[in-house]
């Protein structure tokens, strides 16, 4: 359309100039109406059309406007073509042979020029040729003069040749237009696909939130900008507490709805500029581009956790989860984006371990703890198991018979560089680093060697880690160690935590089934702490629940904790499960537990963890025997 809008004004200019020239040569030989009046009227119309098309060159014309202009051009091509042809015929009788030749030349050359200007509008070009060239050709051939007839014949031949060339040019032009249109469509399709790929590469398909890739790309940009401007911002990591039980109990469809709803709640207006992304699973990332102190971040975290804590109501299902959040502030916590994220993730880990369902801001104390964990990990990697580790054994006591029914084997470590390291410090480090996979088989072998010297009615309890039950190879190794130990599998209790089960429920179920088939008993440790799910109790081959020792702290007769303990004890009786209450340290606690039907307890009230050498004397004193140990040989 733009090219056509440049050619049409040229056509009208050509017509005006040629018309003025023809009028001038007939000015003294023809009536004024033919040299001034009629051509003047045609010239005014032509000039008006020229102005319209001239303005159209610089005006954005939509499809409807373009179609209107083209229709008008078609109409005026017919009207003006007929008008100028009629005028030329009216001039032909006047003047001498030269003037008549000018008329013929005017019609021929003007028609040729107009046709070429209208080459992009084939219908108008053909119409104009028919209106102008057709009549003049017939007129000249019919004049009876050989010269004029020859001119008419030549004009017809030129017109036909010109129209053929026009058809060929129009066909090539149409192909070019179609090719360009196809290319543009392909480019648009490619751009659309590129946009889709870019969207899919940067958005989480389930929630529609930015994904992990976009989160870290934005974190890098924000960090670079903050480094240049000196601004402060914060990074947050949120993990849903209790999502795994919901997913297991109600299925993935409900779990997906919970994830979508949680993302929507986090994306609400919480009074701060939040960039929210789903990092994977039930974990979300936050970037807060604002200068917030620890108190403000705690308030924001409390608001986010409160939003996540609201019930998730779907048709036929109401789910309950909460969230824990860890924050790290730039540049106090770190200046590199990867390290800043790791600091926020550590704060989240601290929140889940200590204040589940709340917010923790990374601080100098956490930095100290990270460095301490690093030192512990390095010491663990170079530790001599035989020289630095040993086992301590804490009795499990039947309070009715007042007899020890078993011992729990507990790892103890004395590092030559760090000194005595608490299990609460080195066990989590060993699990996170994967070193526990090498430690568990060795410690289990030691524990079984000790249990082989005990009376047959004394059981052994041993803790398996997350990595132990998550690995089929590790389970096979544990089975082999038990089979080669000489200790009856029925005397062995293998303890697991709910965290170990939540990581990979299906693999955990397969691992426990393998151990159960061997004949060992499975105990669920720390039951009641965090988000205990009854689905694990009935879906896994559990034989025993160990009630978490936190319920014993400050236990009172009218306390809610006592009611919870009673409920768990009743549950065990109804399901035919054994139950152990951990953390019993005072006689008052025992007095409160006895009426509840508690049978087996464990805690400092009876004995602290003791070395293997002390077990013999302990059992001997309890049973009034001289020697309680059997020969290990």
Within 13 A of 607's CA, how many CA atoms are on the CB side?
22
Contact 628, 616 (CB under 8 A): yes
Is residue 62 annotated as a catalytic residue, yes or no?
no
Phi and psi at 74, nearest 5°, equal -60, -45
How far is residue 319's CA from residue 340's CA, in Å, rounded to a whole number? 33
Cis amide prior to 331 (ω within 30 degrees):
yes
Chain mean position to CA 454: 56
Q: Which long-range contacts (CB under 8 A, 24 or more apart) does 311-320 make?
A: 312/246, 312/257, 312/258, 312/261, 312/262, 314/254, 314/257, 317/250, 317/254, 319/246, 319/250, 319/254, 319/258, 320/242, 320/246
How far is residue 121's CA from residue 5's CA, in Å, rounded to a whole number? 11
Quote the tokens at residue 562.
């006592």
Phi and psi at 327, nearest 5°, equal -120, 150
530 DSSP assignment? S
Q: Which of 241, 282, 345, 525 is catalytic?
A: 282
602 DSSP assignment? E
Phi and psi at 410, nearest 5°, equal -125, 130
Task: Centre a 10 Å sphere on the Cβ of residue 462 and count the other Cβ atoms it contains.
Answer: 25
Q: Give residue 487's region: left, alpha or beta (phi > 0; psi -120 to 50).
A: beta
Phi and psi at 66, nearest 5°, equal -65, -45
Q: How far is CA 339 from CA 302, 330, 333, in A?
A: 24, 10, 8
User: Please, what sign has the CA dihedral across residues 451, 455, 456, 458?
Assistant: negative
Contact 278, 206 (CB under 8 A): yes
How far is residue 90's CA from residue 95's CA, in Å, rounded to a whole number? 11
Residue 571 CB-density burial (10 A; 0-12 exposed, 13-18 middle, 19+ buried): middle
Which residues are known to be catalytic? Answer: 282
């Amino acid at each position: 359309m733009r090219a056509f809008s440049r050619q049409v004004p040229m056509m009208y200019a050509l017509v005006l100039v040629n018309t003025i020239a023809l009028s001038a040569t007939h000015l003294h030989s023809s009536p004024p109406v033919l040299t001034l009046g009629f051509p003047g009227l045609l010239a005014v119309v032509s000039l008006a059309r020229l102005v319209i098309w001239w303005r159209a060159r610089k005006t954005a014309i939509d499809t409807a406007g373009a179609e209107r202009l083209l229709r008008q051009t078609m109409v005026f091509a017919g009207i003006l073509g007929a008008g100028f042809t009629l005028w030329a015929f009216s001039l032909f009788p006047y003047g001498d042979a030269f003037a008549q030749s000018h008329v013929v030349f005017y019609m021929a050359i003007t028609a040729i020029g107009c046709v070429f200007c209208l080459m992009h509008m084939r219908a108008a070009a053909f119409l104009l040729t028919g209106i102008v060239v057709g009549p003049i050709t017939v007129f000249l051939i019919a004049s009876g003069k050989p010269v004029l007839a020859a001119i008419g014949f030549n004009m017809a031949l030129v017109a036909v040749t010109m129209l053929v060339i026009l058809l060929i040019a129009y066909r090539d032009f149409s192909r070019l237009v179609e090719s360009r249109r196809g290319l543009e469509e392909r480019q648009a399709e490619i751009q659309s696909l590129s946009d889709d790929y870019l969207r899919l590469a940067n958005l989480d398909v389930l929630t529609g939130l930015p994904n992990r890739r976009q989160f870290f790309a934005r974190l890098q940009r924000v960090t670079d900008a903050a480094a240049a401007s000196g601004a402060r911002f914060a990074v947050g990591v949120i993990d849903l507490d209790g999502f795994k039980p919901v997913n297991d109990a109600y299925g993935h469809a409900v779990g997906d709805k919970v994830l979508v709803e949680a993302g929507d709640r986090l994306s609400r207006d919480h009074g701060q500029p939040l960039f929210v992304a789903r990092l994977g699973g039930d974990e979300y990332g936050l970037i807060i581009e604002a200068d917030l102190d620890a108190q403000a971040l705690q308030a924001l975290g409390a608001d986010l956790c409160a939003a996540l804590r609201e019930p998730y109501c779907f048709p036929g299902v109401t789910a309950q989860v909460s969230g824990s959040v860890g924050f790290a502030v730039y540049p106090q916590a770190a200046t590199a984006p990867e390290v800043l994220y790791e600091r926020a993730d550590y704060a989240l880990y601290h929140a889940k371990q200590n204040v589940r369902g709340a917010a923790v801001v990374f601080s100098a104390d956490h930095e100290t703890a990270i460095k301490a964990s690093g030192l512990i990990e390095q010491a663990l990697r170079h530790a001599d198991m035989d020289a630095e580790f040993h086992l301590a054994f804490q009795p499990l006591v039947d309070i009715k018979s007042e007899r020890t029914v078993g011992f729990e084997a507990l790892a103890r470590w004395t590092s030559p560089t760090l000194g005595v390291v608490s299990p609460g410090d080195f066990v989590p480090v060993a699990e996170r680093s994967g070193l526990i996979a090498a430690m568990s088989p060795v410690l289990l072998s030691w524990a079984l060697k000790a249990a082989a010297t005990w009376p047959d009615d004394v059981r052994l309890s041993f803790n398996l880690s997350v990595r132990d039950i998550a690995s089929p190879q590790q389970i096979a190794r544990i089975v082999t160690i038990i089979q080669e130990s000489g200790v009856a599998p029925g005397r062995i209790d293998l303890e697991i935590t709910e965290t170990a089960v939540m990581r990979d429920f299906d693999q955990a179920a397969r691992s426990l089934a393998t151990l159960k088939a061997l004949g060992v008993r499975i105990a669920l440790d720390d039951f009641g702490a965090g988000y205990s799910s009854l689905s694990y109790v009935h879906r896994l081959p559990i034989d025993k629940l160990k009630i978490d020792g936190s319920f014993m702290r400050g236990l009172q007769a009218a306390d809610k904790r006592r009611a919870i303990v009673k409920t768990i004890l009743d549950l065990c009786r109804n399901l035919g499960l054994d139950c152990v209450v951990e953390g019993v340290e005072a006689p008052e606690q025992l007095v409160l537990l006895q009426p509840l039907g508690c049978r087996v307890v464990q805690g400092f009230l009876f004995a602290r963890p003791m070395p293997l050498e002390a077990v013999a004397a302990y059992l001997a004193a309890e049973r009034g025997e001289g020697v309680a140990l059997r020969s290990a040989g």
